[in-house]
Amino acid sequence: MILSRTSQYAIQALIFIATQPRGVPVLIRTVADHLGVPPPYLAKIMQSLGRGKLVDSFRGRQGGVCLREGGEKTDLMQILTLIEGPGLTDNCVLGLKVCGDETACPVHTQWKPIKTKIVKLLNQQTLGKLAAAVRSGKYRLTELPFAALEIKGVARGNVQAILVHPQKAGAGIDDIRRNGHNAGKRS
């Protein structure tokens, strides 16, 4: 059970989104730029996560993606099952179609207890826990420092936020205006 690049990007993106203020949509391009992920590839991943009801997406000028209500409780195993499909943990580490206790591959016996520990770890790690670890500054998603939206205020029902990019020397901030929970049309 090795994670595909799609699963890695999905988890990274969801953790990044979970670090942002709740309910404020983040542009997919912003997430992609911060993580170093190709934006079109990330957009397809976000569509899958939207169909899986992990994120809400909003179209239009005020659009973007944000975690659904309660999304911070989602564990990594749920994300992997959504991206990779059911049976992910049943797959042979060598990729053999038939591998189990009775028809084992050469590494099955050694891999089984390791796989059990990995599955337990994936079930225990939630987006909320991982986002808190990143926000603390102790852990990173990339070699770049943590960047977060900071709420500037609310004017006429619109949430105004700025994205702080500490990794861009001299750049400071990019102003981003978001329309809170009512940003654009749901897709």
Q: Which CATH number does 5-143 carry?
A: 1.10.10.10
Residues pairing with 153 in the sheet: 160
Tens-digit pLDDT profile for residues 3-53:
899 999 999 999 999 999 888 899 999 999 989 999 999 999 999 999 999
**Are 17 and 46 within 8 A, CB to CB?**
no
Work out the burial of residue 38: count CB atoms within 10 Å of its CB; fewer than 13 is exposed, 13-18 middle, 19 or more buried.
exposed
Reading the block at residue 29, the tokens are 């391009």
Whether residue 66 contacts residue 25, with contact meaning beta carbons closer than 8 Å, is answered with: yes
175, β-bridge pairs:
162
What pLDDT was estimated at residue 142? 75
Percent of the chain with pLDDT over 90: 53
How far lies 113's CA from each of 89, 107, 117, 120, 123, in Å?
12, 11, 6, 11, 16
Full-model pTM: 0.75
Here the tokens at position 136 are 């603390």
The residue extents of the domains of the chain are 5-143
Q: Which stretches of 99-157 are assigned E, i.e. beta strand?
A: 149-155
Which pLDDT does position 61 carry in this prediction? Answer: 75
Note the pLDDT tens digit of each residue in 124-163. Answer: 999 999 999 998 888 888 765 555 545 454 444 444 444 4
Partner residues linked to 163 by β-bridges? 149, 174
DSSP-derived 3-state class of residue 56: strand
Q: Which pLDDT score, from 0 to 100, does residue 146 have?
A: 55
Q: What average pLDDT does range 70-93 have in this prediction?
A: 91
Residue 144 structure tokens: 């770049």
pLDDT in tens, 102-126: 999 999 999 999 999 999 999 999 9
- The pLDDT of residue 80 is 95
- In the chain, the DSSP E strands lie at 55-58, 64-67, 149-155, 158-164, 173-177
pLDDT at 24: 87
The band of 95, judged by pLDDT with boundaries at 50, 70 and 90, is confident
